[in-house]
């Protein structure tokens, strides 16, 4: 059974940094794509960053966030710098293999002003 486990969330002041990790287990092959989404209270889930054939970012995080992958470990990271209060939300890891999508449980990121 494939599982994605996020870590690295927390409370940080505006302007600070956090690094999220997403560790996958139960899969012997490299994911086609791995990415990060976030869910803020009262808002729809939105794509933050994704790494597959190309790397794409939401306009709101370009220049501040960086997604990376360690394919040998099937792990994805999200380096978040210059955090803003509007970055607050639950960050969920997403991975795709053979047209099947997997989700982690999420990690809370709270940015105080």
pLDDT tens column, 5-37: 999 999 999 999 999 999 999 988 889 999 999
Nearest to 4 by CA among 113, 103, 89: 103
Percent of the chain with pLDDT over 70: 100
**Distance in angstroms (rounded) separating the CA atoms of residues 95 and 69:** 11
Q: Evaluate whether 97 touches 29 at the Cβ level (below 8 Å).
A: yes
Residue 53 — pLDDT band, cuts 50, 70, 90?
A: confident
Does 68 score more than 90 pLDDT? Answer: yes
Residue 88 has pLDDT above 90, yes or no: yes
């Amino acid at each position: 059974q494939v599982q994605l486990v996020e870590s690295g969330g927390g409370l940080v002041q505006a302007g600070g940094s956090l690094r999220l990790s997403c560790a996958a287990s139960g899969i012997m092959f490299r994911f086609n794509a791995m990415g990060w989404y976030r869910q803020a209270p009262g808002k729809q889930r939105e794509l933050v960053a994704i790494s597959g054939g190309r790397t794409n970012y939401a306009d709101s995080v370009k220049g501040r966030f960086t997604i990376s992958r360690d394919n040998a470990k099937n792990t994805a990271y999200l380096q978040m710098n210059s955090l803003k209060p509007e970055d607050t939300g639950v960050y969920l890891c997403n991975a795709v293999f053979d047209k099947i999508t997997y989700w982690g449980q999420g990690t809370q990121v709270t940015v105080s002003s």
